[in-house]
Amino acid sequence: MPKLPPSIPLLHRRASGWLCCALLLPALLILPWTNAPAVEGRFEVRSATMDLIDGVYYLDARVQYRLSAEALEALEAGVALTIELQMEVNRRRRLLPNQSVATLSQRYQLQYHALSNRYVLRNLNSSEQESFATLFAALNQLGRVIDLPVIDAALLEPDQRYEFRLRAVLDTRAFPGPLRLLAFWADGWRIESEWFRWRLED
């Protein structure tokens, strides 16, 4: 949900947020009982590679996003969905568990605007946003990760072995309170990919 201007008193902003939630929640509670066919949500990391450019490792990846029926209905009702790309860099050790070297979280917000009939995709890390005429186009763009800086090569020791891990997760923590509680109990909201793993030397 877009933030209200800072000039509006905090009490009014909170009241506005609860009012919006109160208006949306009844509709979302009714939607699962419609005759719409059940759609299972699925995220899948199809590929991921790292390129070393000017001393920095950059990520290129392809992720397939398929929203569940619950997520699709909520999106069409005006709820903003937050999708998070989670990246880990681990040092591989033979007799001990791998050691975490760095973690990266790239967050995106997808929202449908009924008045303009457009899907808006916002990068929450950089505040950049794009608008799309179809959900397919928005999800396709979301699934294309190009030249995402991950880690400085100076932080990796040349005589060590490293493993990268990447996954995509639907983050429901940003939902308004009642909807967040509903999402906690509904299986259709728990959408995350398996960890995609690869080694630096691959």
H-only helix segments in the chain = 10-30, 69-76, 135-142, 177-185
pLDDT given for residue 95 in this prediction: 82
| Separation between Cα atoms, residue 173 and residue 160, nearest integer Å | 36
Instruction: Report residue 77 as tokens.
Output: 């009702």
pLDDT score of 187:
55
Q: Are 195 and 165 in contact (CB under 8 A)?
A: yes
Q: Are 78 and 114 in contact (CB under 8 A)?
A: yes
Asked if 44 contacts 193 with a C-beta cutoff of 8 angstroms, the reply is yes
Kindly state the tokens that stand for 29: 């509670």
User: CB neighbours (10 Å) of residue 19?
Assistant: 10
What pTM did the predictor assign? 0.75
Position 176 scores a pLDDT of: 62
Report the chain (202 residues): mean pLDDT per 10 consecutive residues: 41 40 45 51 95 95 94 89 95 86 95 95 96 97 96 91 95 66 56 92 57
Contact between residue 104 and residue 78 where contact means Cβ atoms under 8 Å apart:
no
What CA–CA distance (Å, rounded) separates 175 from 141?
Answer: 23
pLDDT value for 85: 97
Q: Is 92 within 8 Å of 98 (Cβ atoms)?
A: yes
Residue 46's φ and ψ, nearest 5 degrees, are -85, -35
What pLDDT does 109 receive? 96
Phi/psi at 64 (5° precision): -100, 130
